[in-house]
A and B are shown apart, each in its own frame.
Chain A
Amino acid sequence: MKKIIALVLALVLAFGLVACNNGGDQSSTASGSSTASDASTASTGGDDSGDLITVGFSQVGAESAWRTANTKSIQEALTEENGFNLIFSDGQQKQEIQITALRSFIEQGVDYIAFSPTVESGWDDVLNEIKEADIPLILVDRTTDNPDESLYVTWMGSNFHEEGVRAGEWVIAYLEDKGLMDGEVVIAELQGTVGAAAATDRMAGFKEVMDQYSNINIKYSQTGDFTTAKGQEVMEAFLKSDTANEIKVLFAHNDDMAIGAITAIEAAGRKPGEDICIISCDGGKAMFQNIVDGKANCVVECNPLLGEGLADVIKKLEAGEEVEKKTYSEEDIFDQNGLAGALKAADHINERAY
């Protein structure tokens, strides 16, 4: 009897291992277990890709709809038909996984490394290793705090600081439109992940505008980790404070937190979009729907469709052309009625790809 049980267990274990292995190969080639991925990519990547350009891409994770759209755009642009062999690695929002992935890219000897760092600091060693290995590095969407520009070829993505400024300017226009600029205005802010460029720069840009007005007070500011669940939880806590009724504006650093906050505001018996003006960054379809439904007011676009741009940059580099150190994507701002030069969300909702 015991032998039979042992045999069955061994079979289950073996089956499980095989299943896990298959899974790993499908979703991400180099997420942590570098031995397995080395073997699999050595055969697919190194040998039979004579004229394909091998690109290792280390993504932050899949923390939001924005990120998912970003991943999809890159996977769709860097296909074999377009002349690329993409090794995609999901960092699961953990720096150590991303560092492991970057090192495995170096070992595999990829032609280009594209990389979206989950936090700003702590990349110095691995970036120098990439430089020593003479692999061109392209930073996508996010930046690092390393001032040495020779470490990377180019950075492409959004100007987060500018997004914060535009959000701030729109809020001022909104407050003036509603005649609220005479009294004190209390603003709540849902920050992104602490240390992420998207959070730090948006916060700085927004604050820059608000600091020009003495009657505006960003009283509540807390991190929501860019996730719906945290955004909801933090907003709930904001709304419980004795002075919560004075909150007039909520600035969320991404859509998902704003969507969580809308649920929390509704649960508190207040009307999102009317009692509290909601503005966020990113511009996903769900947020557009909320603006059209009147539950949110404004969204500053942060374009995730960077795949085509990345493919262009790599092709330029391949042809020996010079590229700019910084490539900003074109971005718009959308609201309900087209205030202060914003576009109307209702007119553009059907074009949203994500």
Chain B
Amino acid sequence: MSNNKAPANAIKSKKKLNLNTQFIAGLVALALILLFNLIYEPGFFRISIVEGKLYGSIIDIINRCVPTMIISMGMTLVIATGGVDISVGAVAAISGAMVVSLIGYNFDSATGVTTTNMNMYLAILIALIVSTICGAWNGLLVSRLGIQPMVATLILMTAGRGIAQLITDGQIPRVYTEDFSFIAQGSIFAVPTGIYIALAVVLIVYAFTKLTAFGMLCESVGINASASRYSGINAKNIKLICYTICGLCAGIAGIHIASTVQGADANNAGLNIEMDAILAVVLGGTSMAGGKFYIWGTAVGALIIQALTTTIYSLGVPPEIIYVVKSLVVVIVVMLQSNLIKNLFKKIGSKSKKSSAAASV
């Protein structure tokens, strides 16, 4: 975006430096958390294959952060346009409720026969369409009616869990079919399936934003919506697309959550996940004010949050103070990424660059 007149290699180096400071601070934080674990629990990095599946704390962290990571991808785009979507948890609940209710698992204990009402893949497709519509609804409120993003998505955040409860009739319907639990609990080549889903979403969003002009358009809308409109960008449609993608991501995450617990819990599925997703985006280096965004930074941010949660469980932190410990670490990570520390990094970086020009990057 910036330096449009500068020589090509200058742009390149500027870009790389940006990516590095954002990315490295996140990676350092993640590494510190993992290192802490290693000291406390020497077997933390041990990975073995149990029941034909990779097994270990690291795998747990990646596997458990799948829903947060998927949602935070959509959230990154929304935040890049200067908005925020706090309805993602509710949309995930709707999507999970849809898919489980549509499949309609029935077990007759007398005959031992299980029946389902609908093909699983069709149910998934419908749930994804519904969540995409939810996202588009948010997008319309924000882009066409000009409602503030926080308020516009608050509507669905409040109403969404009610809708999910209506779909599930206030119950927790369950689906115990092999196919359905495979989505989150199965494995392909010993790697849990959820990891493939998350990776696919990250790669698709990355490709869509960085290989096409879409990412640049998002950033330009986030930096200055009216300036981009004057330069011929349809800012409204860009926003609409971002919210729609966010809804779709929430839908995918909702199905994953439903598959993990083999049921749809309208009240608890994706509870507070919007906060985790926003935190992941911010930890990844994207500013809440919009503008530049970092897909891989967000992915690292999501990993940090889950690494922290898993650490807290394995450390045996008393349940009463979990949130205090969590927030303390978040404060430290955010401070690590603050300008003061960043400048310090840059100074060290430039010093080492002077000594070894090429090797530093």
* A240-B57 contact given A63-B268, A223-B319, A229-B265, CB 8 Å threshold: yes
Say if the beta carbon of A217 comes within 8 Å of chain B: no
CB distance from A128 to the nearest CB of B (A): 27
Collect the chain B residues with CB atoms within 8 Å of residue A260's CB: 261
Contact of B55 among A191, A222, A269 (CB under 8 A): A269
A64 adjacent to B172 (CB under 8 Å): yes
Say if the beta carbon of A290 comes within 8 Å of chain B: no
Q: Mark A60-79, 1 if CB is under 8 A from B, else 0.
A: 01111100100100000000
Say if the beta carbon of B314 comes within 8 Å of chain A: yes
Closest to B192 in A: A267
* A229-B140 contact given A9-B145, A242-B43, CB 8 Å threshold: no
Closest to B167 in A: A23
Contact of B314 among A61, A240, A266 (CB under 8 A): A240
B42 adjacent to A233 (CB under 8 Å): no
CB distance from A41 to the nearest CB of B (A): 17
A222 adjacent to B50 (CB under 8 Å): no
Closest to B322 in A: A223
Collect the chain A residues with CB atoms within 8 Å of residue B161's CB: 92
Say if the beta carbon of B310 comes within 8 Å of chain A: yes
Say if the beta carbon of A26 comes within 8 Å of chain B: yes
B261 adjacent to A62 (CB under 8 Å): no
* A242-B170 contact given A222-B316, A233-B64, CB 8 Å threshold: no
Rounded to whole angstroms, the CA-CA distance of A16 and B134 in the bound complex is 12
Rounded to whole angstroms, the CA-CA distance of A350 and B163 in the bound complex is 33
Say if the beta carbon of A52 comes within 8 Å of chain B: no
A269 adjacent to B267 (CB under 8 Å): no
Collect the chain A residues with CB atoms within 8 Å of residue B53's CB: 267
B165 adjacent to A227 (CB under 8 Å): no
Rounded to whole angstroms, the CA-CA distance of A221 and B320 in the bound complex is 12
Collect the chain B residues with CB atoms within 8 Å of residue A90's CB: 165, 170
Contact of A222 among B158, B185, B268, B319 (CB under 8 A): B319
Collect the chain A residues with CB atoms within 8 Å of residue B257's CB: 229
Rounded to whole angstroms, the CA-CA distance of A14 and B265 in the bound complex is 29
Say if the beta carbon of B260 comes within 8 Å of chain A: yes
Collect the chain B residues with CB atoms within 8 Å of residue A27's CB: 162, 165-166, 170
B314 adjacent to A227 (CB under 8 Å): no
Say if the beta carbon of B117 comes within 8 Å of chain A: no
Closest to B163 in A: A23
Say if the beta carbon of A43 comes within 8 Å of chain B: no
A227 adjacent to B268 (CB under 8 Å): yes
A62 adjacent to B170 (CB under 8 Å): yes
Contact of B261 among A31, A228, A268 (CB under 8 A): A228
Say if the beta carbon of A234 comes within 8 Å of chain B: yes
Could you tell me how many residues of chain A have their Cβ less than 8 Å away from some Cβ of chain B? 48
CB distance from B182 to the nearest CB of A (A): 13
A263 adjacent to B185 (CB under 8 Å): yes
Could you tell me how many residues of chain B have their Cβ less than 8 Å away from some Cβ of chain A? 47
Contact of B166 among A5, A23, A194 (CB under 8 A): A23
A26 adjacent to B166 (CB under 8 Å): yes
Say if the beta carbon of A294 comes within 8 Å of chain B: no
Collect the chain B residues with CB atoms within 8 Å of residue A221's CB: 316
A228 adjacent to B263 (CB under 8 Å): yes
Say if the beta carbon of A236 comes within 8 Å of chain B: yes
* A62-B171 contact given A23-B163, A228-B265, A229-B261, CB 8 Å threshold: yes
Collect the chain B residues with CB atoms within 8 Å of residue A93's CB: 267-268
Say if the beta carbon of B207 comes within 8 Å of chain A: no
Say if the beta carbon of A241 comes within 8 Å of chain B: yes
Closest to A69 in B: B171
* A5-B163 contact given A222-B316, A267-B50, CB 8 Å threshold: no
Say if the beta carbon of B108 comes within 8 Å of chain A: no
Say if the beta carbon of A237 comes within 8 Å of chain B: yes
A62 adjacent to B320 (CB under 8 Å): no
CB distance from B64 to the nearest CB of A (A): 6
B50 adjacent to A23 (CB under 8 Å): no
Closest to A193 in B: B319
Contact of B144 among A9, A61, A225, A237 (CB under 8 A): A9
Q: Mark A1-33, 1 if CB is under 8 A from B, else 0.
A: 000011001000000100010011011000110
A268 adjacent to B313 (CB under 8 Å): no
Within 8 A of A (CB), among B308-323: 309-310, 313-314, 316, 319-320, 322
Rounded to whole angstroms, the CA-CA distance of A223 and B309 in the bound complex is 12
A–B complex contacts, Cβ < 8 Å, 24 sampled: A9-B144, A16-B137, A62-B170, A62-B172, A62-B265, A62-B267, A63-B268, A65-B172, A68-B172, A194-B320, A227-B265, A228-B261, A228-B263, A228-B265, A229-B261, A229-B268, A232-B260, A238-B314, A240-B41, A242-B42, A260-B261, A267-B53, A267-B185, A269-B55
Q: Besides A223-B319, A240-B43, 15 other CB < 8 A contacts?
A: A9-B140, A20-B162, A32-B158, A62-B170, A68-B170, A228-B261, A228-B262, A232-B260, A234-B313, A237-B57, A237-B314, A240-B57, A240-B314, A267-B55, A268-B50
Closest 4 CB pairs of A and B: A237-B313, A223-B319, A269-B50, A228-B261
